[in-house]
Amino acid sequence: MTIPHNQPKRSPIPALTLGFRSIFVYDSQRSGHSTTSTISHPTGRVAAPEIRPISNGNRMNPTDTPEPAASYAEFESHHKRLIVAGTIGNVLEWYDFAVYGFFAHEIGQVFFPSKDPVTSLIAAFGAFAAGFLMRPVGAVVFGHIADSRGRRLAMTLSVLLMAFPTFVIGILPGYATIGPAASVLLVLMRMLQGMSVGGEFSTSLLYLVEHAPPGKKSFAGSWGPAGATGGTLAGSAVGMILNHALTPEQVAAWGWRVPMIMGLAVGLAGLAIRNHLPEEPAAEDPDQTPPLKAAFVHHWRDMLHVSGIIVMGSVGFYLVFVYLTTYLTLNVRMPLADALEINTFSMICLVLAIPFFGHLADRVGPGRIVFWASLAGVVFSYPLFWLIHHPNYWLDLAGELGFVAILAPYQAAYPSLVVSVLPARARCTVLSVGFNVCVGLIGGTTPMAASYLVAKSREDLAPAFFLIAASAITFATVARLMRRSNTNAIDSKSPEPIPDDVDHARTESVDFI
Task: Tell me which of 118-122, 263-267, 449-453 is least confident.
Answer: 118-122
Q: Is the pLDDT of residue 450 over 80?
A: yes
Q: Please tell me the predicted confidence (pLDDT) of residue 75.
A: 53
Q: Which parts of 45-179 fold into alpha helices (H)? A: 69-102, 104-111, 117-133, 135-149, 151-171, 175-178
Q: How far is CA 266 from CA 142, 159, 199, 251, 262, in A?
A: 21, 9, 18, 22, 7
Tell me the mean pLDDT in the region 153-171.
86
CA 348 to centroid of chain Cα atoms: 17
Task: Tell me which of 362-371, 437-446, 457-466 is least confident.
Answer: 437-446
- Asked if residue 467 lies in contact with residue 399, where contact means CB atoms within 8 angstroms, the answer is no
Taking the C-alpha atoms of residue 87 and residue 334, their distance in angstroms, rounded to an integer, is 35
Using N-to-C axis directions, what is the helix angle for 291-298 and 300-318, rounded to 10°? Answer: 90
Tell me the mean pLDDT in the region 333-347.
86
Q: Is the pLDDT of residue 373 over 90?
A: yes
CATH superfamily for 79-282 is: MFS general substrate transporter like domains (1.20.1250.20)
Taking the C-alpha atoms of residue 404 and residue 131, their distance in angstroms, rounded to an integer, is 27
Taking the C-alpha atoms of residue 28 and residue 10, their distance in angstroms, rounded to an integer, is 9
Please indicate whether residue 469 or residue 277 has the higher confidence score (pLDDT). Answer: 469
Share of the chain above pLDDT 70, in %: 73
Q: Is the pLDDT of residue 100 over 60?
A: yes
Q: Is the pLDDT of residue 276 over 60?
A: yes
Q: Is the pLDDT of residue 306 over 60?
A: yes
Tell me the mean pLDDT in the region 27-42.
37
Q: Please tell me the predicted confidence (pLDDT) of residue 78.
A: 65
Give kind and range of the element (H or E) at residue 468.
helix 464-484
Task: Tell me which of 168-172, 202-206, 213-217 is least confident.
Answer: 202-206
Tell me the mean pLDDT in the region 398-406.
96
| Domain(s) of CATH 1.20.1250.20: residues in the chain | 79-282, 288-513
Q: Please tell me the predicted confidence (pLDDT) of residue 1.
A: 44
Q: Please tell me the predicted confidence (pLDDT) of residue 121.
A: 67
Q: Is the pLDDT of residue 200 over 50?
A: yes
Q: Is the pLDDT of residue 268 over 90?
A: no
Tell me the mean pLDDT in the region 247-253.
87
Please indicate whether residue 472 or residue 26 has the higher confidence score (pLDDT). Answer: 472
- Average model confidence (pLDDT) for the chain? 76
CATH 1.20.1250.20 fits 288-513, yes or no: yes
Q: Please tell me the predicted confidence (pLDDT) of residue 24.
A: 35
Task: Write the secondary structure of 381-422 as one string of H (helix), E (strand) and C (coil).
Answer: HHHHHHHHCCCCHHHHHHHHHHHHHHHHHHHHHHHHHHHHCC
Strand pairing report for 38-41 and 44-47: antiparallel
